[in-house]
Amino acid sequence: MRSELQGDVIDVTGDSERADISGPSGRLGPQTRQENWDRLGTEHFDVVVIGGGVVGTGAALDAVTRGLGVALVEARDFAAGTSSRSSKLFHGGLRYLEQFEFGLVREALHERELMLTRIAPHLVKPVSFLYPLKHRWWERPYTATGLLMYDTMGGARSVPGQKHLTRAGALRLFPGLRHDALIGGVRYYDAQADDARHTLTVARTAAHYGAVVRSSTQVIAFLREADRITGVRVRDVETGAEQDVTADVVVNCTGVWTDEMQRLAGTRGRFRVRSSKGVHIVVPRDRIAAESGLILRTEKSVLFVIPWRNHWIIGTTDTDWNFDLAHPAATKADIDYILEHVNAVLATPLTHDDIEGVYAGLRPLLAGESEQSSKLSREHAVARPAPGMVAIAGGKYTTYRVMAKDAIDAARDDLRGWIRPSITDKVPLLGADGYHALVNQAERLADEHKVHPHRVRHLLDRYGSMVHEVLALGEDRPELLQPIPGAADYLLVEVVYAVTHEAALHLSDVLTRRTRISIEYPDRGLECAQTVAELMAETLGWDSATIGREVDTYRKRVEAERASQTEPDDQAADGVRSAAPEFRPGVAEPVV
């Protein structure tokens, strides 16, 4: 039975009554949070999605735009796991061509095109890479053939095709390379996005169309009738309150926690998930002289040097991780591996002192026979381990929309009545509509709000057409349109907006995911932590003791991460990192 508030059809233009429940822009503030808690306990849902990463939020959006009643719960923060710690690329994956995974590459390139042109042009941008050539005669035609496939497999193309360069041409594009590191090169294009902001926008878009979307809400048990899963019991980890949520089907989109969630449900999974750790370092833009990104082949996989605002992101590693799934830790060995491989081609080597930020994430790979995680397939799998439950795992960030579609398609057997087909390939994310026109009007917006045009462009590439909501918060408080002291790339108003519209509940939510201050500044955000916490307190009602606890917890987290990055191996690094206090101590294992 459909939820009484839902009606039978969801209007994807956003004009339906149900789409207004969370406000015209899927607003996720404190008031909506309480309303959603009440709805979880009083409504019956067609679909409950567990997991607030990109696949979970994508599944919620897919289901709600098919006309289903949907709830999404996440134990920590949206994108708190893998979906905020990727290489931040929407790409087909050149190395998968060499592994003959042509279907995966074609699918990923098609999704990249959709993101660039229709679904999220405000968030996903083209980015160029130089592929350096080292061998004469055979390597250039071999690479050209692969890149020709890459250029054409995704259908219509909104990025330029490959361009072949001599050694001199390649060095003009990337002067920071050693002259003996290449004999020529090929420039090609992919796309990039702030993964955490993209995931959050998917969640807000689902809320805009009527989904009940809630973070800090952990599944602690499954409800059953005979052998059928009929819902979940959830705990608000901020207050400790618990209640049952009933549904026709529960969709497990928990990534590296998939196996744990299967055990909690008492079901035998049809596949296992293996956690592969990927580490990235962030260095200032001026440390490497280049006008393009760089892709390097290594003995294990590939290494990217990715332009990122005023920085470079360099990574990644690819090793098994068998410790705390919530807080994977980078080791000195991981960082040394990255520096060793990138310094092999740089004219001016990087040092540990050049590093502004480090982050580690876990890839949820489908377990296979190969002992090398870099060899495991990035294809995804969907299973129905019990009546009333669907699980999905594997895949890659770029193909999240396809994964979400497949998960909801697999739930058909547990849903009543005829289920409409997926339409998310036609549904722009919030902020996409009107974005291009606003880019052309950036100077006018800057004049209206008395900020520099480059600030408006910065906001447009983070919020798209929702920029009006952000700037509106500064109309009565113009001081909010000033930079954050100690993190001048961001405005104070973005902190307020993160709390009033984007479900931020803790200091780390803002410094780590709503902004990327924690990896973009050498102090990891410690200088601005007090200011940000005090600003959050105005909306969240924190007293001075709570402000102090948030700042102290963040400081200890930063200290623990820095200390873990000097340890020689995973076990030692995990021990140091896990000693730091939690922002959400109410979260219990297994975690979703």
Rounded Cα distance between 503 and 539, Å, is: 11
Q: Do 175 and 302 reside in the same domain of the chain?
A: yes
Contact 536, 508 (CB under 8 A): no
Q: Is residue 453 part of a domain?
A: yes
**Both tokens assigned to 550:** 């948030």
Q: Among 367, 393, 410, identify where a domain stops.
A: 367
Rounded to whole angstroms, the Cα distance separating 122 from 431 reads: 7
Match 């920590």 to its residue by tokens: 76
Tokens 């876990």 locate to 362
Residue 570 covered by a domain: yes
DSSP annotation of 511: I
Domain identity same for 559 and 571: yes
Indicate whether 232 and 284 sit together in one domain.
Answer: no
Q: Domain end: 345, 367, 389, which one?
A: 367
Q: Is residue 326 part of a domain?
A: yes
Q: Please report, for the domain that includes residue 325, its CATH number.
A: 3.30.9.10
Q: Can you list the alpha helix ranges (DSSP code H) found in 16-158?
A: 30-42, 54-64, 94-98, 102-114, 139-152
If asked whether residues 306 and 256 sit together in one domain, one would say no
Asked if 246 and 230 count as a contact pair (C-beta separation under 8 A), the reply is: yes
Residues 480 and 549 both lie in one domain: yes
Structure tokens at 209: 């169309």
Instruction: Let me know if residue 530 belongs to a domain.
Output: yes
CA–CA distances in Å: residue 95 to residues 98, 298, 379: 5, 11, 14
Task: Please indicate, yes or no, whether residues 175 and 300 belong to a single structural domain of this protein.
Answer: yes
Contact indicator for 93, 293 with CB cutoff of 8 Å: no
Asked if 130 and 175 sit in the same domain, the reply is yes
Residues 128, 134, 137: CA angle, nearest 5 degrees: 110
436: three-class secondary structure by DSSP: helix
Helix (H, G, I), strand (E, B) or coil at 417: coil
Residue 16 lies in a domain: no
CATH code for position 562 = 1.10.8.870
Task: Identify whether 293 is part of a domain.
Answer: yes
Each of the 592 residues of the chain gets a pLDDT tens digit; together they read: 333 333 333 333 333 333 334 444 799 999 999 999 999 999 999 999 999 999 999 999 999 999 999 999 999 999 999 999 999 999 988 888 877 788 888 999 999 999 999 999 999 999 999 999 999 999 999 999 999 988 888 766 889 999 999 999 999 999 999 999 999 999 999 999 999 999 999 999 999 999 999 999 999 999 999 999 999 999 999 999 999 999 999 999 999 999 999 999 998 777 889 999 999 999 999 999 999 999 998 887 899 999 999 999 999 999 999 999 999 999 999 999 999 999 999 999 999 999 999 999 999 998 853 344 333 345 789 999 999 999 999 999 999 999 999 999 999 999 988 899 999 999 999 999 999 999 999 999 999 999 999 999 999 999 999 999 999 999 999 999 999 999 999 999 999 999 999 999 999 999 999 999 999 999 999 999 999 999 999 999 999 999 999 999 999 999 999 999 999 999 999 999 999 999 999 998 765 4
**How many structural domains does the chain have?**
3
Pair (422, 439) in one structural domain: no
Do residue 449 and residue 566 come from a single domain?
Answer: yes
Q: What CA–CA distance (Å, rounded) separates 487 from 526?
A: 10
Among 317, 347, 367, where does a domain finish?
367
The C-alpha atoms of residue 196 and residue 18 are separated, in whole angstroms, by 26
Same domain, yes or no: 411 and 528: no
DSSP characters over 253-271: --GGGHHHHHHHHT---SS
Angle at 193 between CA 191 and CA 195, to 5 degrees: 135
* Dihedral angle over CA of 102, 107, 108, 112, nearest 10: 140
94 closest CA partner among 43, 20, 144: 144
Instruction: For residue 167, give the amino acid letter.
Output: R
In-domain check, residue 591 = no
Element holding 33 (H helix, E strand): helix 30-42
Please indicate, yes or no, whether residues 385 and 263 belong to a single structural domain of this protein. yes
In a domain, 209, yes or no: yes
> Which CATH number does the domain housing residue 216 bear?
3.50.50.60
Together in a domain, 453 and 555: yes
52: containing domain: 30-82+197-271+379-426
pTM assigned to the model = 0.94
Q: Is 441 left (phi over 0), alpha (psi -120 to 50) or beta?
A: alpha
